[in-house]
Structure 1
Amino acid sequence: MKQPPPKLEDFAYLIEIPTRWADLDALGHVNNTRFFTFDESARLDYFASLMRDDPQFWKRYGLILAGIGADFLAQLHHPSILTVGFRIARMGRSSMQSIAGMFVDGRAVAVTRGTIVWFDYVEQKPLALPAAVRAAIRARERLAPEETA
């Protein structure tokens, strides 16, 4: 069963991303693959403070994207300014479920849902999500993430 699209007000974290001419496909609309890049931009910016303040991030541990999917709700044409809302909807032991809502003038055009894993890059395996990361996510979110052990 398809979930209803998120609303702009569901997101505490927002980023604006302008479309580019290079985002277009032969049909004249923004190509579906570009929405994964928009998600990536929002995801990395959402976690930027963790990365910036921790010199071990990306060297010993950090995030790894385990899966991603998208629902395309409306065609997107260039030029447009996307408002991308990003949030963590669920936190498990080592993984998180993310949602990115993509809006133009307050109208949802796409939503991506991803699985992000806290990862040990040295040992090449998942790690338990640190308490400090959980606390940072809880403090940032407008809608409290579901939490499972």
Structure 2
Amino acid sequence: MLSHKLQVRFYETDALKHVSNTVLVGWFEAAREPLFKLFTPEMDLDNWPIILASYKVDFLAQIFMGPEVEIKTGISRLGNKSCEVYQQVWQRGELCAEGRTTLVHFDYQQQKSTPLPDDVREKLQALWVEA
């Protein structure tokens, strides 16, 4: 799995003194950047080849400001035109959240999904995890 470490920032906490539930979606997206670069190494937003179709987050334990968090990212499903990204949030050695995001290879000019390129598929397969 890919790994992305970060410090919890004060503004990411809520009145209950833990990380707000809205923050994890942003963390997961930031940790998916290496996957985006598999599709478009230059991160060319004028020729962006993917679209987010769905995401789900399961909260397993509270996350607090202070200790570093680690986002782990892998691929849990690989289809013809899409893939499912499986992600975890760890803090102090504890699994605190899991997320699944479906990314679709997409042609914005034609407004339709297209098959994953073979070279990208191969790179995604290298990140396979059982989830």
* TM-score > 0.5, shorter chain as reference: yes
When the two chains are superposed, the root-mean-square deviation of aligned CA atoms in Å is: 2.0
Is the 2:38–2:120 Cα contact (8 Å) retained in structure 1?
no
Aligned residue in 1 for 2:88: 101
SS at match of 2:46: coil
Structure 2 CA distance for aligned equivalents of residues 109 and 62 of structure 1: 31
Q: Which residue of 2 aligns with 1:25?
A: 14
Note the C-alpha offset of 1:142. 5.4
Q: Which residue of 1 aligns with 2:24?
A: 35
Q: 1:69-118: per-residue Cα shift (whole Å, max 9, x none)?
A: 11101111102311111011111111111110110122100011111111
> Do structure 1's residue 114 and structure 2's residue 101 form an aligned pair?
yes
Task: Identify if the C-alpha distance between structure 1 residues 51 and 44 changes in structure 2 by more than 3 Å, giving closer, same or farther.
Answer: same
Tell me how far 1:137 sits from its aligned partner. Answer: 1.3
| Counterpart position of 1:143 | 129
Contact 1:61–1:118 (CA<8 Å) still a contact in 2? Answer: no
State the match for 1:65 in structure 2: 52
Consecutive unaligned residues in structure 2, runs of 5 or more: none
Gap regions ≥5 residues in structure 1: 1-10
- Provide TM-score, normalisation by structure 1: 0.79
- Measured in 1, the distance between the counterparts of 2:20 and 2:81 equals 32
Query: Would the alpha carbon gap of residues 142 and 93 (structure 1) be closer, same or farther in structure 2, given more than 3 Å must change?
Result: closer
Give the AA of the match of 1:143: V
Instruction: Give the total of aligned pairs.
Output: 131
> For residue 49 of structure 2, what is the amino acid of its counterpart?
G
The answer (yes or no) to whether the contact 2:78–2:125 under 8 Å persists in 1 is no
Name the counterpart of 1:5.
none
CA positional deviation for 1:63: 1.6
* Matched position secondary structure for 1:47: helix
Query: Structure 1: how far apart are the matches of 2:31 and 2:46?
Result: 21
Shift >6 Å, 4+ stretches: none
Q: Given residue 90 of structure 1, which amino acid in structure 2 is its aligned partner?
A: R
TM-score between both structures, scaled by the size of structure 2 = 0.89
